[in-house]
Amino acid sequence: MTTVTSPLAGRAIGLAAVPDPVFSGAMVGPGTAIDPAREPSEVVAPVDGVIVSLHPHAFVVVDANGHGVLTHLGIDTVQLNGEGFELLVNKGDTVSRGQGVVRWNPAAVEAAGKSPVCPVVALEATADSLGDLREDGDVKAGDSLFTWN
């Protein structure tokens, strides 16, 4: 079993509340979403593993069980072309849960007209393989978001 923890502080809102049909419809996979605190912060790895995909606005960590966890920083933030995002690791790096991956400012994302809401998705999973799913309430980086069996 894998425990997926929050990559950032904010409020858990669940995927259904994400302002994007691909995420809100769980087409990428099941999971939850965080409405982040509006302050510059470091986004951290939600599991121990290897960075298999890395973009300024999104990254995927695959853990020892082969589970890939996508953290997507905001909605349509690919259109910002990396502006306001600072990568702290490289693709292929092994990271520990809680290790910084990207530095960003959700308030700047919002000021640029994009939603700063962050989906945290279990790739290639089924909804019934997730447990203890957090879909409301305040979370700190490192708080449990869901378990993956």
Q: What are the tokens at 40?
A: 């510059």
Q: Are 100 and 44 in contact (CB under 8 A)?
A: yes
Q: Are 93 and 102 in contact (CB under 8 A)?
A: no
72 part of the active site: yes
Q: Which of 55, 57, 67, 72 is catalytic?
A: 72
Q: Which residues contact 128 (CB under 8 A, 6 or more apart)?
A: none
Predicted structure pTM score? 0.97
Alpha helices in 1-105 (DSSP H): 21-24
* Tens-digit pLDDT profile for residues 66-114: 999 999 999 999 999 999 999 999 999 999 999 999 999 999 999 999 9
pLDDT of residue 105: 96
Residues above pLDDT 90, as percent of the chain = 99
pLDDT of residue 80: 94
Q: Measuring CA to CA, how many Å separate 5 from each of 77, 82, 110?
A: 22, 24, 24
How far apart (Å, rounded) are the C-alpha atoms in residues 133 and 130? 7
Domains, the chain, with CATH or none:
2-148 (2.70.70.10)
